[in-house]
Structure 1
Amino acid sequence: MDRKHIINDPEIGNKAEAYEAFDDIPTNPHLENTIGDVIAARYGRREVLRGMLGVSAATTLFGTSALVAPTAAKASQQSESRYKFDELTWGNDEKHHIAKGYEADVLLRWGDPIMADAPEFDVMNQTAAAQLKQFGYNNDYVGFTPLNAEGTRGLLCVNHEYTNEEVMFPGLGRQDKQGFTGMTRDLIDIEMAAHGGTVVEIAKGADGKWAVLRDSTLNRRITPLDTAMILDGPAAGHARMQTKADPSGTAVIGTLNNCAGGMTPWGTWLMAEENFHGYFWTDARDADGKPDLSAHADAASMKRYGVPGGWYAWGQHHDRFNIDKEPQEPNRFGWVVEVDPRTPDAKPVKHTALGRFRHEGCETTVSSDGKLVIYMGDDNRFDYQYKYVSNGTVSYTADQNTDLLSDGTLYVARFDADGSVHWLPLVHGTGPLTAENGFASQADVLIDTRLAADALGATPMDRPEDAQPRGDGTAYIMLTNNTRRKADEINAANPRAKNTFGHIIEIKEDGDNHAAIKGTWSILVKCGDPEIAEVGAQWNPETSENGWFASPDNCAFDADGRLWISTDQGSKWGKTGKSDGLYALETEGDLRGHSKLFFRCPVGGELCGPYFTDDGETLFLAVQHPGTDGTKSLKGFERASTFEDPATRWPDFDPKMPPRPSVVVVTKTGGGKIAG
């Protein structure tokens, strides 16, 4: 299906859904030995039957033990969950819901003033100047760094991924269907001001409630409209990074499509640039009306990255987003950005040593030998899982860690059928990464990380999103879905064709050392409804109808080392009937693979975050794009949302206000550890 048919598909209700559906078409031409092939070879006849026939057929042949994750012991009725809460009931409606005994308070909403001189939000009279001092749109990653020993004051760091024009601006409607005819320079500047990120100081009161300190001098917005940034690492200053506005190739304005992220051990914030390709524009068209890249020296690279996507009209009014005028500007996006939230005057840094791709998450840990390790996914169907290992060791004094993100080795994963995972170094001169194959320097390897990973034979995955490392050398990889995988493309680590529901892989690094270049892997769960045979789901048998989920996206460990999963089904939630939400997932013992529902979003919303404070008593969650995705599946509404007619007006429920992406603070009624 081409772009035109996707845009006009009656089942697609907004631009974001169309954008995602178009990205369902992989850009990776190397689909041999994908993770599905590896999974098929990794597990024997029993597991292949389970994956192809589903839960009902598998249990008929092999009994209930076939449902347990491969390395787990058989679950028993006597097993006790480590997560102490009464499970929430699944569903989908206009409100958010939390497990009994917990409170979920809205802390920050799109448009809320975050600076002392910021104007109050006026949704009918928005301006870029106002938005630059207000909380941005579509909050995704949430991080927190404390400012006092008690952890009752701190800085909240929030990514703002993208904007939904049709519910953001009055009277506008879907712009991708109208050729962006309604998008003026003023509206585009508001969009740009709503992207990026927010740093805001918050404090916990005597009543246990958290509040924004609007007068804090540490509060700031980071946007693609006006925030000056530095490029560092091997690609900084390279000819392919130079533009008319920046002939040095070392400075860039802003960051965009910031999805998941991470916090470093020394308290800086890592912002991952994901679907940057959609913001670039071209006026050049071929005979079929498609973007014509024939005049561009980087045409092969652009094609592999999906540039120009043309899903935003920024290039009509800002030359740097038009590849006809600034052909190398796309090379300056797709990186990980480090921000020092305690120093508002410090310029954010784009670290090119971490590679250029559609970054989903950049979760950090310290290896057993003291090195900084970062796990990162490339969120596209049939793309790869990465990790970065610093050459130096971590100091807990911030100014002693300045080189850790610019001096190290980037690796890409190859998952083998024998259960081993190999981390392949993306280093110039290694194997095929030579000038003869188009990689003249380490800068080329990093600018074209995807092409370099292709050349090394990395394993194509089912949309690797967030990855969460644990201190014992274990990491959990979220594989959200891949409906494009064909039956002859399944493998050991991607076991299902037309993988609508996703799965989670567990990695055990050799020697319990996250810096190791080899480890082992297994599947923790295969997601989806275990009652439908053809889904081929795999859960612990104790998982209830409320507890199974689809499309794992972000994840986090709490203070006790327990894993929590948030989901992003997009417009496909109608296939499960469940809102996206937060689930507690057992990784050890008899209940390994057992999941419980804790929180669920209002209709059309995606759950992001999650982030626990060090004491385990506060959980920050982000609900983005409420009232947008899949609203045609909501019984009684069954149409696409607009500014004037949304499926929900969460969280204000004000007839004059559209739905507003918001950060929610979860605490236990009366205090104490969450799920403790």
Structure 2
Amino acid sequence: MVFNRRAHFEEAENEPSNPHVHRPIGEIIERRFSRRGFLKGAGSAGLGVAAIGALHPLSAAIAAEAHDRFAFEEIVHGVDTTHHVAAGHEAEVLIRWGDPLFDDAPEFDPRRQSADAQERQFGYNNDYVGFVPLEGRFDRGLLVVNHEYTNEELMFPGLPGPQDEHDFSGITAEMVEIEKAAHGLSVVEVLGEGGRWRYQRNSRYNRRLSPRSTEMRIGGPAAGHERMRTAADSEGTTVIGTLNNCAGGTTPWGTILTCEENFHGYFLGDVADHPEKAKLERYGVPGNAYAWGRFDARFDVSQEPNEPNRFGWVVEIDPRDPESVPVKRTALGRFKHEGAASVIAEDGRLVVYMGDDQRFDYVYKFVSRDVVERADPAANRDLLDHGTLYVARFDEDGSVTWLPLVHGEGPLTEENGFASQADVLIDTRLAADALGATPMDRPEDVEANPATGDVYVMLTNNTQRTEEQVDAVNPRADNTFGHILEIVTEGRHTAERNHWEVLVRCGDPARGEVGALWNPATSDNGWFAAPDNCAVDARGRLWVTTDQGSNWAKSGTADGVWALETEGERRGTGKMFFRVPVGAEMCGPCFTPDDTALFVAVQHPAADGTEAFPGRDAPSTFENPATRWPDFADGMPPRPSVVAITRRGGGTIG
């Protein structure tokens, strides 16, 4: 069996582990909107933009104008070996896998890798990017970048292709140590000079965090619980490293929230006699995606049964203090976190929105107990250890009900397997199941718009939808292309009840069988598929990045960045801004506070679906990749990289 790491994680997200798929979101959308008009798409093109304003109660008050808020000429759909950006902008590689962060780090040599060197170099498969200004400047700051996972067949010479998940015969102990060192995060100082950005080697702020060597503290209600204790940590309060860091967020006090997603894939072992077998299955443990458990006992659940409970959390990092100890904030729950977007609520408390990235899993929010101290960042140090976690139920009448996950309330009692609040949080998915939350179509990034109070939920795809759920407004049992929901809070982020709408249903609106729904102003290049990450710029404009996996062969275009109108008569109009090279996923995105630079992460170039690329019929390998982006040098493999986008001559992006 040929094993593809990326495909393995994609399938883990696509294959539901939730046994309670009683009211999936597709059915609720269908029932809610069967009586309403929609946007551009199969069978509904004549409904036009009049219906759009009806879908959004704030649009008339905020932006009645019909002009295009995104003043750039969009690029075209397509797939090739390099990246592309809209005219009038520059897109330059800022930092690549293996670039040295310190003076004592060696220059990158893919044929002479070592774990020690990798822990002094920029890591692999960059995903979330956060920017923290230094000295109040927007042209100098810290980039904090997640390194989600590794592709051995592209990292190491000599491997014939993706490894067999039950064999791993080509993987050595040395490779495993390099993989560990390539995971985690990088903190790196960056400078903007004359419209061009560069990273500062040997900055006192530069830092690598990895699951190989970085000690982290466990905070919140699950800290010290017996289910968090291991042979190496008898107190259950300290863990080495963070795994599969996907998206994240930045707090108002300048720390970074990094999110552990597909942590299940790093564990091996026999769970037949495991005391928590059913609980592990709800999280997909063991995932058998890496050989780490063959060389490190803590990744073998047969030897360390509690180690999986120490992953799947949101981790808070202070990038301005390279000596600080990161903290896993267990009050925010344990699941396959995609992102953690925070907003200061109407009463001064912090609200963090999150998605659990697997088909038929849930959308969450955390509301802090205490208010944010804006003038004293140090006072917020443990603010995320105290508060209430909620899970969303989406109803046909357009309401969102936020259900509190609090021990002793409703079914969350000892009789039902929840002996404490720590149990509720360690088993967040099971607690949400018990409360009857709405199963969603792979919730990925969830981002709040400070300008409107709206919250955007990226729902990447769900091909598990049944034929019984198909009708004129949702005509696809094979929802390959995903959609975007909008939670309308009207500024009430702490409320236990809000309102929801559909923003767009993704895919090609010209193909009737797809059932896509867009504003009629969307061009042939403005539609997209599989929304994943998103960002709201300082002007309140929404930017969406995509992750189609190998499904780019179905859409006909590589992943990228799209601008998406959310207000006024152009609501639901997409516009293509940036495109990645073949086989890559588009991650990030992150603006400087003045919108003069946009940082995006090009992840795993040459990895996804390259068999469909013209002239190829086999997966990429180190020796024979579909592209050698960004170096295009013989012998140099493709390198995941962060790209800095600026406007030629200066000014606002887009």
- Does TM, normalized by the shorter one, top 0.5? yes
8 Å contact 2:49–2:569 — kept in the other structure? no
Partner in structure 2 of residue 342 of structure 1: 320
2:42 equivalent in structure 1: 56
- Mean Cα displacement is larger for which, 445-454 or 393-402? 393-402
* Letter aligned with residue 591 of structure 1: R
Could you tell me which runs of 5 or more consecutive residues in structure 1 were left unpaired when the two chains were aligned.
1-6, 285-292
Distance 1:178 1:298 in 2: 23
CA shift, 1:70, in A, is 5.8
Does the 8 Å CA contact 1:35/1:493 hold for their aligned counterparts? no
Quick one: structure 1 residues 67 and 316, their matched pair in 2 at CA, closer, same or farther if it must change by over 3 Å?
farther
Q: Residues 566-595 of structure 1: CA distance to partner in whole angstroms, max 9, x if unpaired?
A: 000011110001010000000000000001
CA deviations over 1:583-609 (Å, ceiling 9, x no partner): 000000000000100000000111101
What residue in structure 1 maps to residue 437 of structure 2?
A: 458
Cα drift, residue 107 of structure 1: 0.4
Q: Is 1:247 aligned to 2:226, yes or no?
A: no
Code of the aligned partner of 2:32: R
Q: Work out whether 1:204 is the aligned partner of 2:192.
A: yes
1:216 is matched with which residue: 197, 203, 227?
203
Task: Look up the match of 2:624.
Answer: 645
**Segment drifting more, 13-22 vs 81-90:** 13-22
Query: What CA deviation, in whole Å up to 9, does each residue of 1:387-426 have, x standing for no partner?
Result: 1000101113221002310000000000000000010000
Match for 2:517 among 538, 545, 561?
538
Aligned position for 1:504: 484
Q: 2:231 is matched by which residue type in structure 1?
A: K
d(CA) in 1 for partners of 2:345, 2:601: 29
Aligned positions of 1:597-616 closer than 5 A = 597-616=576-595
Q: Which residue does the alignment assign to 1:425? A: 404
Query: 1:662, 1:437 → 2: CA distance?
Result: 47
AA matched with 2:7? E
Q: 1:337 to 1:424 in 2, by over 3 A?
A: same
Question: Over residues 258-316 of structure 1, what are the superposed CA-to-partner deviations in whole Å (9 max), with x where a residue is unaligned?
Answer: 0000111011011100000000001x3xxxxxxxx231111111010000001001000
Question: Match for residue 342 of structure 2?
Answer: 364
Distance 1:69 1:135, change over 3 A: farther
Identical residues among aligned pairs (%) = 59
Matched, 1:25 2:15: yes
Q: Partner of 1:288 in structure 2?
A: none
Matches within 5 A, 1:129-148: 129-148=116-135
Amino acid at match of 1:312: Y
1:27 and 1:564, CA in 2 relative to 1: closer, same or farther beyond 3 A? same
Is 1:16 the counterpart of 2:12 in the alignment? no
Q: Secondary structure at the match of 2:44?
A: helix
- The structure 1 segments of at least 4 consecutive aligned residues displaced by more than 6 Å after TM superposition are 490-495
1:119-130 aligned within 5 A: 119-130=106-117
Give the counterpart letter for 1:402 in structure 2: R
Partner of 1:290: none
Q: Which among 243, 252, 258 is matched to residue 245 of structure 2?
A: 258
Cα distance in 2, alignment partners of residues 601 and 415 from structure 1? 34
2:156 maps to which residue?
A: 169
Aligned mate of 2:290, from 301, 308, 312: 312
Give runs of aligned pairs for residues 418-567 of structure 1, distance below 5 A.
418-471=397-450, 472-488=452-468, 496-509=476-489, 511-567=490-546
Matched AA of 1:405:
L
Residues 1:190 and 2:204 are matched in the alignment: no
Q: Distance in 2 between matches of 1:495 and 1:398?
A: 50
> In the TM superposition, what whole-angstrom CA distance separates every residue of 1:435-466 from its partner, at most 9, and x where no partner exists?
01000000000000000000000000000000
C-alpha distance in structure 1 between counterparts of 2:173 and 2:53, whole Å: 53
Deviation by residue 1:204-243 (Cα, 9 ceiling, x = unmatched): 22x2211111121110100000000000100010010000
The partner residue of 2:368 within 390, 394, 413 is 390
For residues 291 and 137 of structure 2, the distance between their equivalents in structure 1, rounded to whole angstroms, comes to 46
Q: Which residue of 2 aligns with 1:38?
A: 28
Report the CA distance shift for 1:63/1:400 in structure 2 as closer, same or farther (over 3 A).
closer
Alpha-carbon distance in 1 for matches of 2:478, 2:411: 32
**Distance change in 2, residues 1:363/1:63 (3 Å):** closer
Deviation for aligned residue 1:91: 0.6
Q: Distance in 1 between matches of 2:151 and 2:185?
A: 16
Question: In 1, Cα distance between the equivalents of 2:89 and 2:641?
Answer: 18
CA contact (8 A) 1:554 1:565 kept: yes
Q: Distance in 2 between matches of 1:175 and 1:539?
A: 40
Tell me if 1:672 matches 2:651.
Answer: yes
> Whole-Å Cα distance in 2 between the matches of residues 252 and 336 of structure 1?
13
Partner of 2:85: 98
Letter paired with 1:90 = H
Give the unaligned 5+ runs of structure 2: none
